[in-house]
Amino acid sequence: MFTSKWFRIGVTLMVGLFVAYLDRSNLSIALPGMEKELGIDGAATKSLALTGFLIGYALANFFGGFLANRLNPKITIVTMVFLWSVVQIMTAWITSAALLIAFRIILGIAEGIYWPQQFRFARAWFNKDEITRGTNLIQFYGQFLALSLGFIILTPIFDHLGWKWVFYITGGMGVFIVVPMFLAFLKNSPDKASAPDEPAAEPEPAGGKISFSDLGGAPFLLLVFSYFANGMLFWGITLFIPMAVLSLGFSGFSQGAASALPYFLAILLAIPVSWYSDKTQKRGLIAACGLGSAGLFLIALPFIDSPFGKLALITLAIAWFTSCYTTNIWSIITSSVKKSAVGPAAGVINGVGAGLGGTTAGFVVQYLQSWSGSYVPGFTVLGVVAILGGLSVYTYSRIMAARPVTA
Protein backbone atom coordinates (compact mmCIF):
# COMPACT_ATOMS: atom_id res chain seq x y z
CA MET A 1 0.00 0.00 0.00
CA PHE A 2 2.69 2.50 1.04
CA THR A 3 4.62 1.90 -2.19
CA SER A 4 1.61 2.51 -4.45
CA LYS A 5 1.73 5.87 -6.22
CA TRP A 6 -1.93 6.41 -5.29
CA PHE A 7 -0.84 6.51 -1.65
CA ARG A 8 2.73 7.73 -2.00
CA ILE A 9 1.81 10.70 -4.19
CA GLY A 10 -1.99 10.96 -4.23
CA VAL A 11 -2.90 10.46 -0.57
CA THR A 12 0.29 12.08 0.77
CA LEU A 13 -0.24 15.28 -1.22
CA MET A 14 -3.94 15.18 -0.38
CA VAL A 15 -3.03 15.26 3.34
CA GLY A 16 -0.69 18.17 2.63
CA LEU A 17 -3.40 20.15 0.88
CA PHE A 18 -5.89 19.20 3.61
CA VAL A 19 -3.69 20.91 6.19
CA ALA A 20 -2.96 23.81 3.81
CA TYR A 21 -6.68 24.54 3.52
CA LEU A 22 -7.16 24.31 7.27
CA ASP A 23 -4.47 26.97 7.58
CA ARG A 24 -6.13 29.14 4.93
CA SER A 25 -9.56 29.03 6.52
CA ASN A 26 -8.79 28.91 10.26
CA LEU A 27 -8.88 32.71 10.60
CA SER A 28 -12.55 32.71 9.57
CA ILE A 29 -13.24 30.80 12.80
CA ALA A 30 -10.72 32.50 15.07
CA LEU A 31 -11.24 36.16 14.04
CA PRO A 32 -14.30 36.90 16.23
CA GLY A 33 -12.26 35.96 19.30
CA MET A 34 -9.26 38.00 18.18
CA GLU A 35 -11.08 41.24 17.40
CA LYS A 36 -11.31 42.71 20.92
CA GLU A 37 -8.00 41.33 22.15
CA LEU A 38 -6.00 42.69 19.21
CA GLY A 39 -8.04 45.79 18.49
CA ILE A 40 -9.16 44.62 15.06
CA ASP A 41 -11.96 46.94 14.08
CA GLY A 42 -13.16 48.67 10.94
CA ALA A 43 -13.96 47.13 7.58
CA ALA A 44 -10.53 47.85 6.09
CA THR A 45 -8.58 46.13 8.91
CA LYS A 46 -10.86 43.09 8.94
CA SER A 47 -10.68 42.80 5.16
CA LEU A 48 -6.88 42.98 5.19
CA ALA A 49 -6.70 40.36 7.94
CA LEU A 50 -8.96 37.96 6.05
CA THR A 51 -7.44 38.59 2.61
CA GLY A 52 -3.78 38.96 3.62
CA PHE A 53 -3.28 35.32 2.75
CA LEU A 54 -4.77 35.85 -0.71
CA ILE A 55 -2.56 38.88 -1.40
CA GLY A 56 0.59 36.85 -0.77
CA TYR A 57 -0.92 33.87 -2.57
CA ALA A 58 -1.65 35.94 -5.69
CA LEU A 59 1.90 37.29 -5.89
CA ALA A 60 3.53 33.90 -5.30
CA ASN A 61 1.32 32.10 -7.83
CA PHE A 62 1.63 34.72 -10.54
CA PHE A 63 5.42 34.89 -10.44
CA GLY A 64 6.06 31.42 -9.04
CA GLY A 65 4.31 29.67 -11.91
CA PHE A 66 7.04 30.80 -14.26
CA LEU A 67 9.73 29.52 -11.86
CA ALA A 68 7.99 26.20 -11.14
CA ASN A 69 10.11 24.12 -13.50
CA ARG A 70 13.37 25.44 -12.03
CA LEU A 71 12.74 24.32 -8.43
CA ASN A 72 13.20 20.89 -6.87
CA PRO A 73 9.60 19.83 -6.08
CA LYS A 74 10.26 17.84 -2.90
CA ILE A 75 12.68 20.31 -1.33
CA THR A 76 10.36 23.18 -2.23
CA ILE A 77 7.15 21.83 -0.75
CA VAL A 78 8.79 20.45 2.42
CA THR A 79 10.42 23.83 3.04
CA MET A 80 7.21 25.75 2.37
CA VAL A 81 5.06 23.53 4.61
CA PHE A 82 7.55 23.90 7.46
CA LEU A 83 7.73 27.68 6.96
CA TRP A 84 4.00 28.35 6.94
CA SER A 85 3.35 25.90 9.79
CA VAL A 86 5.84 27.70 12.04
CA VAL A 87 4.18 31.00 11.07
CA GLN A 88 0.80 29.51 12.04
CA ILE A 89 2.12 28.58 15.48
CA MET A 90 3.63 32.06 15.87
CA THR A 91 0.24 33.59 15.00
CA ALA A 92 -0.97 32.43 18.42
CA TRP A 93 1.56 34.83 19.99
CA ILE A 94 0.74 37.99 18.04
CA THR A 95 -0.16 41.21 19.82
CA SER A 96 -1.35 43.43 16.96
CA ALA A 97 -3.47 43.42 13.82
CA ALA A 98 -0.44 44.50 11.75
CA LEU A 99 1.50 41.40 12.74
CA LEU A 100 -1.52 39.20 11.97
CA ILE A 101 -1.74 40.68 8.46
CA ALA A 102 2.01 40.20 7.92
CA PHE A 103 1.84 36.55 9.00
CA ARG A 104 -1.14 35.92 6.72
CA ILE A 105 0.77 37.37 3.77
CA ILE A 106 3.73 35.08 4.55
CA LEU A 107 1.30 32.14 4.73
CA GLY A 108 -0.03 33.08 1.29
CA ILE A 109 3.43 33.39 -0.26
CA ALA A 110 4.52 30.00 1.12
CA GLU A 111 1.35 28.24 -0.03
CA GLY A 112 1.53 30.02 -3.40
CA ILE A 113 5.05 28.67 -3.99
CA TYR A 114 3.93 25.22 -2.82
CA TRP A 115 0.82 24.96 -4.95
CA PRO A 116 2.22 24.66 -8.55
CA GLN A 117 4.63 21.94 -7.43
CA GLN A 118 1.71 19.53 -6.93
CA PHE A 119 1.13 19.47 -10.68
CA ARG A 120 4.76 18.51 -11.26
CA PHE A 121 4.35 15.44 -9.04
CA ALA A 122 1.06 14.54 -10.75
CA ARG A 123 2.57 14.93 -14.21
CA ALA A 124 5.63 12.84 -13.30
CA TRP A 125 3.77 9.98 -11.60
CA PHE A 126 0.42 9.65 -13.40
CA ASN A 127 0.02 8.79 -17.08
CA LYS A 128 -2.51 10.45 -19.36
CA ASP A 129 -5.24 7.92 -18.45
CA GLU A 130 -4.76 8.59 -14.72
CA ILE A 131 -3.99 12.29 -14.52
CA THR A 132 -7.58 13.48 -13.92
CA ARG A 133 -8.13 10.98 -11.10
CA GLY A 134 -4.70 11.72 -9.65
CA THR A 135 -5.24 15.48 -9.73
CA ASN A 136 -8.73 15.19 -8.23
CA LEU A 137 -7.42 12.98 -5.42
CA ILE A 138 -4.76 15.56 -4.55
CA GLN A 139 -6.60 18.79 -5.24
CA PHE A 140 -10.34 18.36 -4.96
CA TYR A 141 -10.58 15.95 -2.05
CA GLY A 142 -7.72 17.51 -0.09
CA GLN A 143 -9.36 20.91 -0.43
CA PHE A 144 -12.96 19.99 0.32
CA LEU A 145 -12.29 17.45 3.05
CA ALA A 146 -10.42 20.23 4.85
CA LEU A 147 -13.25 22.70 4.46
CA SER A 148 -15.97 20.20 5.36
CA LEU A 149 -14.21 18.67 8.37
CA GLY A 150 -12.28 21.78 9.32
CA PHE A 151 -15.25 23.92 10.34
CA ILE A 152 -16.66 21.05 12.40
CA ILE A 153 -13.32 20.32 14.11
CA LEU A 154 -12.01 23.86 14.61
CA THR A 155 -15.24 25.54 15.75
CA PRO A 156 -15.48 23.48 19.01
CA ILE A 157 -11.74 24.03 19.59
CA PHE A 158 -12.30 27.78 19.31
CA ASP A 159 -15.39 27.64 21.54
CA HIS A 160 -13.74 25.61 24.33
CA LEU A 161 -10.01 26.41 24.14
CA GLY A 162 -9.88 29.86 22.54
CA TRP A 163 -8.48 31.26 19.31
CA LYS A 164 -4.82 30.60 20.12
CA TRP A 165 -5.32 26.84 20.05
CA VAL A 166 -6.81 27.01 16.56
CA PHE A 167 -3.36 28.14 15.35
CA TYR A 168 -1.36 25.85 17.65
CA ILE A 169 -3.19 22.80 16.33
CA THR A 170 -3.24 23.67 12.61
CA GLY A 171 0.42 24.75 12.68
CA GLY A 172 1.41 21.66 14.65
CA MET A 173 -0.25 19.38 12.09
CA GLY A 174 2.07 20.78 9.42
CA VAL A 175 5.25 20.40 11.47
CA PHE A 176 4.53 17.02 13.04
CA ILE A 177 2.38 15.24 10.43
CA VAL A 178 2.80 16.70 6.93
CA VAL A 179 6.54 17.36 6.91
CA PRO A 180 7.41 13.82 8.14
CA MET A 181 4.99 12.29 5.61
CA PHE A 182 6.52 14.27 2.76
CA LEU A 183 10.05 13.31 3.78
CA ALA A 184 9.10 9.63 4.07
CA PHE A 185 6.95 9.10 0.98
CA LEU A 186 7.46 11.77 -1.67
CA LYS A 187 9.85 11.24 -4.54
CA ASN A 188 10.18 13.64 -7.46
CA SER A 189 9.68 10.93 -10.09
CA PRO A 190 9.14 7.14 -10.09
CA ASP A 191 12.01 4.69 -10.30
CA LYS A 192 11.32 3.02 -13.64
CA ALA A 193 13.50 0.06 -12.78
CA SER A 194 11.28 -0.77 -9.80
CA ALA A 195 8.06 -0.64 -11.85
CA PRO A 196 8.90 -1.76 -15.43
CA ASP A 197 5.28 -2.58 -16.30
CA GLU A 198 3.89 0.75 -15.11
CA PRO A 199 2.54 2.91 -17.97
CA ALA A 200 4.84 5.88 -18.41
CA ALA A 201 3.70 9.23 -17.19
CA GLU A 202 4.17 12.20 -19.43
CA PRO A 203 7.73 13.56 -19.24
CA GLU A 204 8.08 17.04 -17.87
CA PRO A 205 8.91 19.49 -20.64
CA ALA A 206 12.14 21.43 -20.44
CA GLY A 207 11.91 24.95 -19.11
CA GLY A 208 12.16 27.90 -21.47
CA LYS A 209 10.55 31.15 -22.46
CA ILE A 210 6.76 31.11 -22.53
CA SER A 211 4.88 33.31 -24.97
CA PHE A 212 1.30 34.58 -24.77
CA SER A 213 0.42 32.32 -27.71
CA ASP A 214 1.67 29.29 -25.72
CA LEU A 215 -1.03 30.12 -23.16
CA GLY A 216 -3.67 30.20 -25.91
CA GLY A 217 -3.62 33.85 -26.95
CA ALA A 218 -6.58 36.18 -26.41
CA PRO A 219 -9.05 33.39 -25.44
CA PHE A 220 -6.81 32.65 -22.45
CA LEU A 221 -8.09 35.92 -20.94
CA LEU A 222 -11.60 34.43 -20.90
CA LEU A 223 -10.27 31.56 -18.83
CA VAL A 224 -8.49 33.97 -16.49
CA PHE A 225 -11.69 35.97 -15.96
CA SER A 226 -13.66 32.79 -15.39
CA TYR A 227 -11.26 31.77 -12.65
CA PHE A 228 -11.37 35.30 -11.23
CA ALA A 229 -15.16 34.86 -10.91
CA ASN A 230 -14.55 31.44 -9.34
CA GLY A 231 -12.11 33.01 -6.86
CA MET A 232 -14.58 35.73 -5.93
CA LEU A 233 -17.41 33.26 -5.42
CA PHE A 234 -15.43 30.61 -3.56
CA TRP A 235 -13.38 32.84 -1.26
CA GLY A 236 -16.10 35.46 -0.88
CA ILE A 237 -18.23 32.81 0.81
CA THR A 238 -15.53 30.64 2.40
CA LEU A 239 -13.84 33.56 4.20
CA PHE A 240 -17.12 34.65 5.76
CA ILE A 241 -19.30 31.55 6.01
CA PRO A 242 -18.82 30.92 9.77
CA MET A 243 -19.73 34.56 10.48
CA ALA A 244 -22.57 34.57 7.93
CA VAL A 245 -24.01 31.39 9.46
CA LEU A 246 -23.75 32.95 12.92
CA SER A 247 -25.63 36.03 11.67
CA LEU A 248 -28.43 33.72 10.48
CA GLY A 249 -28.93 32.49 14.05
CA PHE A 250 -26.81 29.32 14.12
CA SER A 251 -24.26 28.95 16.92
CA GLY A 252 -22.13 26.30 18.64
CA PHE A 253 -22.11 22.91 16.95
CA SER A 254 -24.88 23.94 14.54
CA GLN A 255 -22.68 26.82 13.34
CA GLY A 256 -19.79 24.46 12.57
CA ALA A 257 -22.06 21.89 10.93
CA ALA A 258 -23.89 24.48 8.83
CA SER A 259 -20.57 26.02 7.74
CA ALA A 260 -19.26 22.60 6.74
CA LEU A 261 -22.40 21.38 4.95
CA PRO A 262 -21.69 23.00 1.53
CA TYR A 263 -18.29 21.32 1.34
CA PHE A 264 -19.59 17.89 2.41
CA LEU A 265 -22.27 18.14 -0.26
CA ALA A 266 -19.65 19.21 -2.82
CA ILE A 267 -17.68 16.01 -2.18
CA LEU A 268 -20.79 13.87 -2.71
CA LEU A 269 -21.89 15.69 -5.87
CA ALA A 270 -18.38 15.55 -7.35
CA ILE A 271 -18.63 11.77 -7.78
CA PRO A 272 -21.53 11.68 -10.30
CA VAL A 273 -20.47 14.97 -11.90
CA SER A 274 -16.93 13.69 -12.54
CA TRP A 275 -18.34 10.47 -14.01
CA TYR A 276 -20.67 12.43 -16.29
CA SER A 277 -17.87 14.77 -17.35
CA ASP A 278 -15.62 11.86 -18.30
CA LYS A 279 -18.45 10.18 -20.18
CA THR A 280 -19.62 13.20 -22.18
CA GLN A 281 -16.38 15.25 -22.34
CA LYS A 282 -18.55 18.39 -22.10
CA ARG A 283 -16.31 19.91 -19.46
CA GLY A 284 -16.74 23.52 -20.56
CA LEU A 285 -20.54 23.32 -20.55
CA ILE A 286 -20.65 21.56 -17.17
CA ALA A 287 -18.22 24.06 -15.59
CA ALA A 288 -20.25 26.96 -17.01
CA CYS A 289 -23.52 25.54 -15.69
CA GLY A 290 -22.02 25.12 -12.23
CA LEU A 291 -20.74 28.69 -12.03
CA GLY A 292 -23.85 30.23 -13.60
CA SER A 293 -26.31 28.24 -11.47
CA ALA A 294 -24.48 29.24 -8.30
CA GLY A 295 -24.82 32.86 -9.37
CA LEU A 296 -28.57 32.49 -9.75
CA PHE A 297 -28.86 30.91 -6.28
CA LEU A 298 -27.04 33.85 -4.69
CA ILE A 299 -29.01 36.48 -6.61
CA ALA A 300 -32.16 34.93 -5.11
CA LEU A 301 -30.94 35.49 -1.51
CA PRO A 302 -32.57 38.94 -1.00
CA PHE A 303 -35.98 37.45 -1.88
CA ILE A 304 -35.85 34.74 0.82
CA ASP A 305 -36.80 35.65 4.40
CA SER A 306 -36.18 32.35 6.16
CA PRO A 307 -32.67 31.83 7.64
CA PHE A 308 -32.94 28.15 6.65
CA GLY A 309 -33.88 29.18 3.12
CA LYS A 310 -30.88 31.51 2.87
CA LEU A 311 -28.59 28.79 4.23
CA ALA A 312 -30.00 26.30 1.70
CA LEU A 313 -29.26 28.66 -1.21
CA ILE A 314 -25.71 29.35 0.00
CA THR A 315 -25.14 25.62 0.49
CA LEU A 316 -26.41 24.75 -2.99
CA ALA A 317 -24.40 27.56 -4.55
CA ILE A 318 -21.07 26.34 -3.14
CA ALA A 319 -21.78 22.61 -3.48
CA TRP A 320 -23.10 22.67 -7.05
CA PHE A 321 -20.60 25.21 -8.35
CA THR A 322 -17.54 23.47 -6.93
CA SER A 323 -18.61 19.96 -7.97
CA CYS A 324 -19.18 21.16 -11.54
CA TYR A 325 -16.50 23.82 -11.97
CA THR A 326 -13.60 22.77 -9.74
CA THR A 327 -13.58 19.15 -10.93
CA ASN A 328 -13.37 20.25 -14.57
CA ILE A 329 -11.41 23.49 -14.76
CA TRP A 330 -7.91 22.04 -14.40
CA SER A 331 -8.62 19.40 -17.03
CA ILE A 332 -9.74 22.23 -19.31
CA ILE A 333 -6.56 24.18 -18.58
CA THR A 334 -4.09 21.32 -18.98
CA SER A 335 -5.68 20.15 -22.23
CA SER A 336 -5.89 23.56 -23.90
CA VAL A 337 -2.46 25.16 -23.36
CA LYS A 338 0.91 23.90 -24.52
CA LYS A 339 2.43 21.31 -22.19
CA SER A 340 5.46 23.51 -21.55
CA ALA A 341 3.10 26.31 -20.45
CA VAL A 342 1.00 24.34 -17.94
CA GLY A 343 3.00 25.56 -14.91
CA PRO A 344 2.96 29.25 -15.89
CA ALA A 345 -0.71 29.04 -16.95
CA ALA A 346 -1.67 27.46 -13.63
CA GLY A 347 0.27 30.13 -11.74
CA VAL A 348 -1.29 33.03 -13.63
CA ILE A 349 -4.83 31.63 -13.46
CA ASN A 350 -4.61 30.70 -9.79
CA GLY A 351 -2.84 33.93 -8.86
CA VAL A 352 -5.37 36.17 -10.60
CA GLY A 353 -8.33 33.92 -9.80
CA ALA A 354 -7.86 32.72 -6.24
CA GLY A 355 -5.58 35.57 -5.22
CA LEU A 356 -6.95 38.71 -6.84
CA GLY A 357 -10.52 37.37 -7.09
CA GLY A 358 -10.57 36.28 -3.47
CA THR A 359 -9.01 39.52 -2.26
CA THR A 360 -11.55 41.58 -4.21
CA ALA A 361 -14.41 39.51 -2.81
CA GLY A 362 -13.10 39.90 0.74
CA PHE A 363 -13.22 43.68 0.54
CA VAL A 364 -16.57 43.77 -1.29
CA VAL A 365 -18.35 41.44 1.15
CA GLN A 366 -16.85 43.06 4.27
CA TYR A 367 -17.64 46.63 3.17
CA LEU A 368 -21.20 45.79 2.17
CA GLN A 369 -21.69 43.94 5.46
CA SER A 370 -20.41 46.95 7.41
CA TRP A 371 -22.76 49.22 5.45
CA SER A 372 -25.89 47.03 5.58
CA GLY A 373 -25.36 44.80 8.63
CA SER A 374 -25.90 41.72 6.45
CA TYR A 375 -23.77 39.42 4.29
CA VAL A 376 -26.56 39.08 1.72
CA PRO A 377 -25.68 42.15 -0.40
CA GLY A 378 -22.08 41.01 -0.78
CA PHE A 379 -23.09 37.45 -1.64
CA THR A 380 -25.52 38.83 -4.23
CA VAL A 381 -22.69 40.73 -5.95
CA LEU A 382 -20.72 37.47 -6.02
CA GLY A 383 -23.68 35.88 -7.80
CA VAL A 384 -23.65 38.46 -10.60
CA VAL A 385 -19.91 37.98 -11.16
CA ALA A 386 -20.35 34.17 -11.13
CA ILE A 387 -22.89 34.33 -13.97
CA LEU A 388 -20.45 36.37 -16.06
CA GLY A 389 -17.71 33.85 -15.23
CA GLY A 390 -19.92 30.98 -16.39
CA LEU A 391 -20.52 32.70 -19.74
CA SER A 392 -16.77 33.30 -20.00
CA VAL A 393 -15.68 29.67 -19.53
CA TYR A 394 -18.39 28.45 -21.90
CA THR A 395 -17.24 30.90 -24.60
CA TYR A 396 -13.65 29.78 -24.06
CA SER A 397 -14.56 26.10 -24.41
CA ARG A 398 -16.42 26.78 -27.67
CA ILE A 399 -13.46 28.68 -29.11
CA MET A 400 -10.95 25.99 -28.11
CA ALA A 401 -13.18 23.20 -29.46
CA ALA A 402 -12.79 24.73 -32.91
CA ARG A 403 -8.98 24.74 -32.66
CA PRO A 404 -6.59 21.85 -33.29
CA VAL A 405 -5.14 20.19 -30.19
CA THR A 406 -1.91 21.90 -29.07
CA ALA A 407 1.28 19.94 -28.64
What residue ranges of the chain have pLDDT lower than 50? 193-197, 406-407
Kindly give the interhelix angle for 253-280 and 307-321, rounded to the nearest 10 degrees: 40
174 CB-near residues (< 8 Å, 6+ apart): 19, 23, 81, 82, 84, 85, 88
| 90 C-beta neighbours (distance < 10 Å), count | 14
What pTM did the predictor assign? 0.78
pLDDT in tens, 356-366: 898 899 889 98
pLDDT in tens, 4-54: 888 899 999 999 999 999 998 899 889 888 887 887 777 778 888 888 888
Full set of structural domains in the chain with CATH: 5-187+216-401 (1.20.1250.20)
Q: Provide the pLDDT for residue 193.
A: 46
Q: Provide the pLDDT for residue 194.
A: 45
Closest CA to 354 of 326, 383, 388, 392: 326
Q: Provide the pLDDT for residue 65.
A: 60
Q: Phi, psi (5° rounding) for residue 186?
A: -75, 140
55 CB-near residues (< 8 Å, 6+ apart): 105, 108, 355, 359
Average pLDDT, the chain: 85
The answer to whether the beta carbons of residues 85 and 181 sit under 8 Å apart is no
| 373 C-beta neighbours (distance < 10 Å), count | 10
Closest CA to 124 of 60, 191, 79: 191
The answer to whether the beta carbons of residues 355 and 55 sit under 8 Å apart is yes
CA–CA distances in Å: residue 186 to residues 4, 6, 143, 193, 305 = 11, 11, 19, 17, 51
Q: Is 321 exposed, middle or buried (0-12, 13-18, 19+ CB in 10 A)?
A: buried
Q: Provide the pLDDT for residue 332.
A: 79
Q: What is the DSSP letter of 202?
A: P
Q: Provide the pLDDT for residue 61.
A: 76
